[in-house]
Structure 1
Amino acid sequence: MVAITTLFMSSWRRDHWRHNCMGPSHGSAMSWHVRMKIALDTARGLEYLHEHCNPPVIHRDLKSSNILLDSDFNAKIADFGLAVTSGNLDKGNLKISGTLGYVAPEYLLDGKLTEKSDVYAFGVVLLELLMGRKPVEKMSPSQCQSIVSWAMPQLTDRSKLPNIIDPVIKDTMDPKHLYQVAAVAVLCVQPEPSYRPLITDVLHSLVPLVPADLGGTLRVTEPHSPHQMYHPS
């Protein structure tokens, strides 16, 4: 088992892919379709954890640096060090953990953890893909601002939305697709968890935006192996 896992891991890179999609000054720029493929693959991984594992698994630390890419930009979720099953949430012994900028507000403030906490983190990843920005940026030596608080007023205004999109992809996608992805992101990062969609609903929204040759199919059922969706860490 160790040998198999080692061979499997050797074909994947723990690159921080965000640095490869932020334009010429940050390296090779990822296209719109590649970014949507990364989002779709990540949503599929979360759907497997939330809907097809028994009991359901909450990753608890989904972020761009925990999404591995191979040479064809297939994405898998990694680093399950903080993951918990839904059956262990009532034991009262879970410390609040995660990464600044990705932690859902209800978990940060009240310690309330559900699958919707992962959906919030996915929304932050989606915003990174759209805008090429970090989840938290320093505004001054003593002040930081999250991508969610900065972008939310503009994400819901169609006249302002194009102005905050990564310039590399700004003129390369169908505006209708841009509005659709922005709407999904807005729902995912809602402060109230009950307003956030299930990851399965997110998946259905993203599938039509990815060409079939990049994985944009209607297959959302349980994979043959969990390794198709996430990466052991």
Structure 2
Amino acid sequence: MFTGGPNDVKITSWVKRLEIAEDAAKGCSPTIIHRDVKSSNILLDKNMRAKVADFGLSKPAVDGSHVSSIVRGTVGYLDPEYYISQQLTEKSDIYSFGVILLELISGHEPISSDNFGLNCRNIVAWARSHIESGNIDAIIDASLDTGYDLQSVWKIAEVGIMCVKPKGAQRPTISEVLKEIQDAIAIEVQREAPQVQQLMSKRSMGSVSINTDNSVDLEQNASFDEMLMRPGLR
């Protein structure tokens, strides 16, 4: 996740990660159960806008009910309740989206033998243990640009943990998840507003110049997954 393009640019901006998550949440329809929501199925265009792709396993949602289905999905993102019961609901996609939110914060893949300690291979158990103990710093991606508001990270961490609750009935709707993401973005916009005003003031006084020649044209349809895991520019 969060890297990609011909120059292997890594997304180290917390706000940009939030904006991608916002686009992805908007693309998760409550009337369609995707069944394979994962970071590599969130595609980014050259303008860094995201869309959910690969609806080949999708099923129409049945309002207030479930669909009996052979279990399909990807290890690490698969809803354990769906796996056990083979009863598919729209909350199965919510579990998968919660895993993506935990990836967004940590920069880690959902399954790893190296990142989560000796007795843990799953991002959900690892993140939950730190979040519930109040140690949010332990799961924040060290490569993120500094200056983000910890309150917005907490907001995403808390909704991510709500999404991966063991039972679907305990999980939020995608509309509720989207609102939390947008609230997190609003926190960051509010934090940045005084800095932007200060910068514009300095520019008007001629004390700051901004180089616009170093823009990077990202490859169209790089995946969210690629945009996190590749190395950044040196």
| TM-score calculated relative to the size of structure 2 | 0.70
Identity across aligned pairs (percent)? Answer: 38
Summarize the Cα distance change of 1:90–1:112 in structure 2 as closer, same or farther, 3 Å threshold: closer
Gaps of 5+ in 2: 190-234
Q: 2:3 aligns with which of 17, 20, 27?
A: 20
Of 12, 20, 39, 1:38 maps to 20
Quote the Cα distance in structure 2 between the aligned partners of 1:86 and 1:154.
34
Look up the equivalent residue of 1:64 and give its one-letter code.
S
Question: What CA distance in whole angstroms lies between the structure 2 residues aligned with 1:170 and 1:131?
Answer: 13
Residue 35 of structure 1: CA displacement?
Answer: 0.5
Q: CA offsets, 1:124-169, max 9 Å, x none? A: 00111100000111259xx9711101211102232x2112210122
The answer as to 2:48 corresponding to 1:73 is yes
- 1:117 corresponds in structure 2 to 92
Q: Which residue of structure 2 aligns with residue 145 of structure 1?
A: 121
Judge conservation of contact 1:116–1:193 (CA < 8 Å) in 2.
yes
Q: Distance in 2 between matches of 1:208 and 1:90?
A: 30
Q: Secondary structure at the match of 2:121?
A: strand
Does the Cα contact within 8 Å between 1:33 and 1:211 map onto a contact in 2? no
Q: 1:19 to 1:180 in 2, by over 3 A?
A: closer
- Structure 1 stretches lacking a partner, 5+ long: 1-17, 51-55, 215-233
C-alpha spacing 1:73/1:211, structure 2 compared with 1 (3 Å): farther
Structure 2 counterpart of 1:218: none
Change (3 A) 1:126 1:154: same
How does 1:173-212 map onto structure 2 within 5 Å? 173-210=148-185
The amino acid that maps onto 1:39 is A
Kindly report the root-mean-square deviation, in angstroms, between the aligned alpha carbons of the 2 structures.
2.6
1:58 to 24, 30, 33: 33
Change (3 A) 1:149 1:201: same
Kindly indicate whether the alpha-carbon contact (under 8 Å) linking 2:11 and 2:17 is maintained by their aligned counterparts in 1: no
Q: Which residue does the alignment assign to 1:12?
A: none
- Counterpart CA distance in 2 for 1:33 and 1:90 is 35
Distance apart, 1:114 and its partner CA: 0.7
Who is 1:164 aligned against?
139
Query: Offset of 1:57 from its aligned partner?
Result: 0.7
Partners of 1:71 and 1:127 in 2: how far apart? 24
The TM-score normalised by the length of structure 1 is: 0.71
SS in 1 for 2:160: helix
1:110 deviates by 1.1
- Tell which has more relative contact order, 1 or 2 (C-alpha 8 A, sep 6+): 2
Take 1:147 and 1:204, find their aligned partners in 2: how far apart are those partners? Answer: 23
Which residue is equivalent to 2:77?
A: 102
Q: Is the 8 A contact 2:103 2:109 kept in 1?
A: yes
- Alignment counterpart, residue 58 of structure 2, candidates 79, 83, 108: 83
CA contact (8 A) 1:38 1:73 kept: yes
SS of 2:43 mapped into structure 1: strand
**2:159 touches 2:177 (CA, 8 Å); kept in 1?**
yes
